[in-house]
Structures are given as structure tokens and as C-alpha cells.
Amino acid sequence: MKKMTKVISLVLALVMCLALCACGKKDASYKMLDEKVSTEQYAIGFKKGNTELRDAVQAALFQLYKDGKVEEIAKKYSDYNLDAMLCLDKQTETTFDAAQASDEFKARTTFTVGFDAEYPPYGYMGADGEYTGFDLDLAQAVCDIYNWELVKTPIDWDTKDVILNAGQIDCIWNGLTLTDDREANMACTKPYVKNAQVVVMKADADYTSTADLAGKTVVAESGSAGETTIEEDEGLQQADFVAKSVQTDCLMEVAAGTADAAVLDLTLASAMIGEGTDYANLVIKDELNVEEYGAAFRKGSDVAAAVDTAFDELKADGTMQTLADKYGLTLAD
């Protein structure tokens, strides 16, 4: 609450500064002609990369405009014609317009999410026997915005694309790495979480680089970013790769000694190995690459844009950050 109050105060101060600085002092000895030579728009600049503050200020500006506060301030400086110069109403908060949405979207009452049920902290079965996780909690928050009923559907991750295109689910939403190929063939949301692929081995195993794994058995989940990493890494290409159905099986193989290393997601590895876990003798030996997660819909679907709109709202009001903190995740920029 204190953070939002600070943002709103900053926005009000910036609006007033722009109002004063943009116009200068009126001089009665000059007359303004009706003809406009050119038009321009004013905005607020932030340090490059500071998207969190930018998005928060943008959301606050829109809210202040809706509440009439921006117009109230502009009228205070009506001598400078500021009340007629406002252009915030000509902008859109998001790229999604519900009024222009497809009939399918307007008729939607449920939202079926396909997810990997053995992929904590994104999707898994909790101690109460119910499916839970960051992605499912975030999907529920989106459903709350649109008054949809969330349908949680565990799927075989290796056949996720087939299941999506067959219409059995509305989207794939569970630690899905955004790639050029996926974005070209699916309707994907903007990234919402950062992750990385890591090498997991026994604590006493010798390792300096992926080149050490040449000729050794390396496991990864079939169709995962881990498998892609193995295919693209020069050192891992020389290893004996074995695909597994789920990432948790990869940890079991390394712990049992039937595999020398596993390549899997940082977030899952961090949650499931080390002191106090079932895999206390396993450690992360290397971090290979950084990736971003998004949700994917059938190509041409307008629901991805609607989810992006919800993301903006949930990020601005702090809901997304609260969920990320709950599960120990890092949000995408």
C-alpha cells in the first residue's frame, strides 16, 4: 500500500511538472493563431530497464485519468489550454479490446489450462490432494478478472502441442519456455517469469564444464527446454542423452546412479534438491542459459492478448509479485 501511495504521489507530481514546464508563461503581447503547425505528445522517461516503475506509473496514470484527477489538474492550468491538450484518453491500457473480441471469447465461461502435474513450484499436487502452484494460482487470478471458471487439466508434457491443437485444452500454461518457433506457431502471452537450465549431479561428482559429460549419461524431460539445451550445447552433444517423461524422474536417475547428470529447470532443482529434501546429495553444478516462460494458445486465438491485459493489471496491483514471492520465483521484465 505504501509503495502504491508513493507511485501515485510521484505521478501527481510529474503531471503537475509537465503542466508547468511544457507551456511556459503567457505573454499578452502575443496572439496564438488557430492554425496548428505541428502536434506532439509529452510522456515521462525512466532509466532504461526500469520497467517495474514504468508500468506502475502507467497504471496509476490511467487510474487517475479514470478518476478524473488528471483532468482536474489540467483545468487548474486552463489558461494554458492544458485541459484541451490531454491525450491519455486516446491511448489504450492494453492491446486487448473486449468489445472487439471474438464471439468465442465473449461466450467463454471456463478456462481449461493444460499443465505438468509434477513440476513444482509451477504445477503439482499439494499436501491436501489439490493441484496447486504458481502458474495455477496466476491462472486463477486471470480467471477472477474475466469471471471464468478455471479447469485444471494435467497433461502429458511430451504431447502438449497435439493436445492443444486438438482443442482438449485452451492453453499450455506450466513453465513453457518461449522460443521463436513457438511464438511463430502459437499465440503466446508476454513472458511473466525468468528461469534457467542447470546441470544437476551428485555433490562429489567432478565437473568443470559440460565437456566433462562427454560419453556420460545425461537425462532431461522429453520435449523440454532441458532437451533443447542438450541438443544445442557443444559439450552436451557428446553425452549419451536419455529422455524421461517428467523432470522429477531425472532427479531419481541421478540419485540412483543410473544417470551421471540431469539438465532441468533452476526453479524445480532449487526446490527439490539439497539439504532437507529427498535429494540431499544432489547439487547444481552449472547454470547454462536464461529463459522466459509464457502461456501458449492455438494460433489466431485472442485469449493470449486478454491474458496479457490481465498480466498488466496483476503486475500493477502487486498480485503477481506476491505470488512470485510465495513460490520463490523471479518475474520477467
**Are 259 and 118 members of one domain?**
no
Report if residue 226 sits inside a domain.
yes
- What is the 3 state secondary structure string of 315-328? HHCCHHHHHHHHHC
Give the Cα separation of 202 and 279 in Å (integer). 9
Percent of the chain past pLDDT 70, that is, above it, reads: 76
User: What pLDDT score was predicted for residue 116?
Assistant: 94
Range of lowest pLDDT (87-96, 150-159, 320-329): 87-96
Q: What does the mean pLDDT of the chain come to? A: 84
Computed over its alpha carbons, how large is the radius of gyration of the chain? 25
**Are 187 and 324 members of one domain?**
yes
**Are 256 and 278 members of one domain?**
yes
Summarize pLDDT for 107-117 with one digit per residue, the tens: 889 999 999 99
Report if residue 220 sits inside a domain.
yes
Report if residue 268 sits inside a domain.
yes
**Are 189 and 102 members of one domain?**
yes
**Are 301 and 168 members of one domain?**
yes
Report if residue 25 sits inside a domain.
no
The three cell numbers locating residue 41: 505528445
**Are 124 and 140 members of one domain?**
yes
pLDDT band at 7 (very low <50, low <70, confident <90, very high): low
Higher pLDDT, 57 or 168: 168
Bridge partners of residue 118, in order along the sequence: 124
User: What pLDDT score was predicted for residue 70?
Assistant: 75
- The half-sphere exposure of 39 on its side-chain side, counting CA atoms within 13 A, is 7
Q: Domain range for residue 72?
A: 2-19+40-90
Report if residue 133 sits inside a domain.
yes
User: What pLDDT score was predicted for residue 92?
Assistant: 42
> Does residue 30 have a pLDDT over 90?
no
Summarize pLDDT for 256-301 with one digit per residue, the tens: 999 999 999 888 898 899 989 999 999 999 999 888 999 999 999 9
User: Which of 64, 90, 116 is a domain's end point?
Assistant: 90
**Are 141 and 202 members of one domain?**
no
State how many domains the chain has: 3
User: What pLDDT score was predicted for residue 151?
Assistant: 98
Report if residue 314 sits inside a domain.
yes
Report if residue 29 sits inside a domain.
no
**Are 298 and 238 members of one domain?**
no
Report if residue 70 sits inside a domain.
yes
Higher pLDDT, 241 or 22: 241
User: What pLDDT score was predicted for residue 209?
Assistant: 96
User: What pLDDT score was predicted for residue 93?
Assistant: 47
Summarize pLDDT for 115-142 with one digit per residue, the tens: 999 999 999 999 999 999 999 999 999 9
Phi-psi region of 272 (alpha: psi -120 to 50; beta: other; left: phi over 0): alpha
CATH of residue 104: 3.40.190.10
Rounded to an integer, the average pLDDT of 298-326 is 93
User: What pLDDT score was predicted for residue 137?
Assistant: 98
Give the Cα separation of 217 and 229 in Å (integer). 15
The model's pTM:
0.57
**Are 104 and 54 members of one domain?**
no
User: What pLDDT score was predicted for residue 20?
Assistant: 47
With a CB cutoff of 8 Å and minimum separation 6, the contacts of 163 are 114, 155, 156, 169
**Are 102 and 158 members of one domain?**
yes
User: What pLDDT score was predicted for residue 94?
Assistant: 45
**Are 170 and 238 members of one domain?**
no
**Are 299 and 283 members of one domain?**
no
